[in-house]
Amino acid sequence: MSKTLSWVLRHGARSEGLEMRPDGYVRVDDLVSLKIPKMREMNFDMLEQIVKADNKSRYNLIHEPDKAVGSPSQIWWIRANQGHSMKTVVLDLQPIQSPADIPTGLAVHGTSRKAWDIICEQGLSKMSRNHIHLAQGVPGSGVISMRSSSSIFIFVDIQKALAAGIRFYLSDNGVVLTDGDEKGFLSPQFFARVETAKREPLPGWEGAGPIQLLNQDKVDVEQVEQEIEVPKGSSSQPSSSERKVEKTETLLL
């Protein structure tokens, strides 16, 4: 049910007829009324439990008036904190001005060996997403990281990219996001180092040496995923670019 909720709030709200605010919030009453098979039994208590139990802080629940109808009565709203493919969603993200604005000081993208063969040539792409997603560490480091199934770790030189005009942001749940360049790519010239899951550098991508966390005690243990799942029975199907993300990328959210 959590994965279906994630898909609706990140990708499928419009196709399911769900009204969404520009900041990504939808009315909880509207959400629990959807007829998607895996959500037919959803109610507020179940939704609240999913939000509280989610150790990746994917969602945010708020209680405030519905300004669209001018009512002073407060209602419940929910949104996904990042990972949207809907271009109408504009999140209130924290701009990153220097690596010091990232709790760990790191930004790393986890991917597969197959995807790396493409990435090393063209760079990271946001594809159907609004942003490229970067984690704050690698699996096992005790910080916000990508999926443990990632076999290639791409460490990004944030300072160099910022100097070149690339914008970075920090989401509410600690994911480092970037628009990339004007075409939505983060060029390989901004890769500081690339390693295997065994923390061994790839030939030609050794950089200046091993990269360590700066402030490990300041962050919580979480994982970042990059996935697109379309619930069975949904009226929407992923585009070819979304299927490419699902097949080649193992980093989320």
Q: What is the structure's pLDDT at 142?
A: 60
The string over 7-40, giving b where at least 16 C-beta atoms fall within 10 Å of a residue's C-beta and e elsewhere, is bbbbbbbeebebebbeebbbbbebbbebebebbe
Angle between the N-to-C axes of helices 240-248 and 113-122, in degrees from 0 to 180, rounded to the nearest 10: 120
Mapping DSSP to helix (H, G, I), strand (E, B) and coil, where does residue 149 land? coil
CATH for the 1-80 domain, from 1.10.10.10, 1.10.10.970, 2.60.40.1120, 1.10.1040.10: 1.10.10.970
Q: What is the structure's pLDDT at 181?
A: 96
The contacts of residue 117 (CB under 8 Å, 6+ apart) are none
Q: Where are the beta strands (DSSP E) in 45-175?
A: 59-65, 74-80, 94-96, 108-111, 124-125, 132-134, 145-146, 152-156, 168-170
CA 33, CA 36: separation in Å to the nearest integer? 9
Higher model confidence: residue 206 or residue 241? 206
Higher model confidence: residue 156 or residue 2? 156
Mapping DSSP to helix (H, G, I), strand (E, B) and coil, where does residue 132 land? strand
The contacts of residue 17 (CB under 8 Å, 6+ apart) are none
The pTM assigned to this predicted structure is 0.64
| % of the chain residues with pLDDT over 90 | 38
The pLDDT of 52-76, averaged and rounded, is 85
Q: Is 136 a residue whose pLDDT tops 80?
A: yes
Cα→Cα distances 154→33, 39, 140, 144, 193, Å? 41, 36, 16, 15, 6
Pair of tokens at residue 39: 């959500």
Average per-residue pLDDT for the chain: 80
Query: 228: burial class by Cβ within 10 Å (0-12, 13-18, 19+)?
Result: buried
Q: What is the structure's pLDDT at 149?
A: 76
Q: What is the structure's pLDDT at 17?
A: 86
CATH for the 94-196 domain, from 3.90.1150.10, 3.40.47.10, 3.40.50.2300, 3.20.170.30: 3.20.170.30
Higher model confidence: residue 178 or residue 149? 178
Question: Is there a contact between 124 and 185 (Cβ–Cβ < 8 Å)?
Answer: yes
The pLDDT of 203-221, averaged and rounded, is 68
Strand order in the sheet with 132-134: 94-96, 168-170, 176-178, 132-134
Domain boundaries, the chain: 1-80, 94-196
Q: Is 162 a residue whose pLDDT tops 70?
A: yes
Residue appearing with tokens 């990140």: 10
**Would strands 223-224 and 132-134 be described as parallel, antiparallel, or unpaired?**
unpaired
The pLDDT of 88-102, averaged and rounded, is 86
The pLDDT of 157-180, averaged and rounded, is 93
CA 181, CA 185: separation in Å to the nearest integer? 5
Single-letter residue type at 108: V
Q: Where are the beta strands (DSSP E) in 112-242?
A: 124-125, 132-134, 145-146, 152-156, 168-170, 176-178, 185-186, 191-196, 223-224
Q: Is 81 a residue whose pLDDT tops 90?
A: no
The pLDDT of 37-48, averaged and rounded, is 85
